[in-house]
Amino acid sequence: MVKGTDIRKALGQTVRQLRLDRNISQEKLAELGSLDRSYISEIENGEKTASILTVYKLSLALEVKPSQLIEEMEKHFEFNKG
């Protein structure tokens, strides 16, 4: 079973990687997503749980679909099928 802390860390790693791939700072991502820079840092460090609204804002700021952000995040986990 996947724990909440694992999900937070996976989302944070995914957001950080997508942000770095686009060569933008936490400050710029925060501006693009109408979020606070310290909140971006807390998400990237797995310290805060992002709401679905925040995931949507991050997706828009990173120019990916929310489903793509989640799909990238899921790569950090192994899921049992069946």
- The reported pTM is 0.89
Q: Whose CA is closest to 50, among 66, 63, 31, 27?
A: 66
CATH classification for the domain delimited by 4-74, as one of 1.10.10.10, 1.10.10.1100, 3.30.1490.150, 1.10.260.40: 1.10.260.40
pLDDT of residue 82: 46
Residues in the chain with pLDDT values less than 70: 1-2, 78-82
Domain boundaries, the chain: 4-74
Q: Show the DSSP H helices in the chain as ranges.
A: 4-21, 26-33, 37-44, 52-62, 66-74
> Is there a contact between 61 and 33 (Cβ–Cβ < 8 Å)?
yes
Please report the pLDDT score of residue 5 as a whole number: 82
At residue 77, the pLDDT reads 79
